[in-house]
Amino acid sequence: MQKDKPSITKVVKDLIMSKPAIRECMILDIVNYSALARLLLEELESKGIKTSTGAVKMALIRLGGELKKERESLERQIKNVIARTVIELQSDLTVVTVEKRVLLNRIERLSKIMEKARFFQLTQGVETFTIVVSSEEKEEIIKILREGIVDIIEEQTAIILISPDEIIETPGIVAFVTSALSSNGVNITQVISCHKDTIFVLDRRVAPKAYQILEELILKMRKA
């Protein structure tokens, strides 16, 4: 039995979803649908899909409407989460990256530091662990893990965003916040997610600027 051919609407949607730049232009409603339909028609015909410019254009118009509604809904969700987020800051931190095997062998000794440290975050990678720790514990950490240390970054600050439960099921929050920072020239050393907390570790020299950007973003979402 011959398999049913996909509808032109689905074919066009699959094609657009593989082209992020065009998809974004459709969401912003800055696309000439007739010109885009002619462009896509050539691509579809090269794949052996026979249709017409009019059919492609109609599929694009329907898809554009769907994409705009999805974006509006997502933006409302993001705004709601950001508006109810609070911001905290932890200064004078050190980031230590260490080989996994070494840290695992010293985990009991590290747990004692974890209990008393002002700030302690442990993140596992494929071959390494990264510790973000208050600098007053730095020397003890280095002493315990010395032969396994891969990298040390000092003079760091953590900006902690504490969000409502909805952040767990709302896509795009981290992308939204990191975009606000990157567009203002702020580099992030580490991004850590811990349940409802999102932690950005940055060089202490850019931390005041980053804090101001994020605080203003939260206030703007509350007023909007």
Per-residue confidence of the chain (224 residues) as pLDDT tens digits? 445 567 889 999 999 999 999 999 999 999 999 999 999 999 999 988 889 999 999 999 999 999 999 999 999 999 999 999 999 999 999 999 999 999 999 999 999 999 999 999 999 999 999 999 999 999 999 999 999 999 999 999 999 999 999 999 999 999 999 999 999 999 999 999 999 999 999 999 999 999 999 999 999 999 97
Confidence (pLDDT) at 2: 44
Confidence (pLDDT) at 224: 76
Cα separations (Å) of 179 from 30, 51, 102, 152, 214? 22, 39, 35, 26, 11
Residue 222 · residue 91 · CB < 8 Å: no
- Rounded to an integer, what is the distance from CA 118 to the centroid of its chain? 27
Q: Note the helical H segments in the chain.
A: 8-17, 20-27, 33-46, 53-83, 100-105, 107-116, 138-145, 173-182, 207-223
Residues with Cβ within 8 Å of 12's Cβ and at least 6 positions away in sequence, in order, are 40, 44, 56, 59, 60, 63
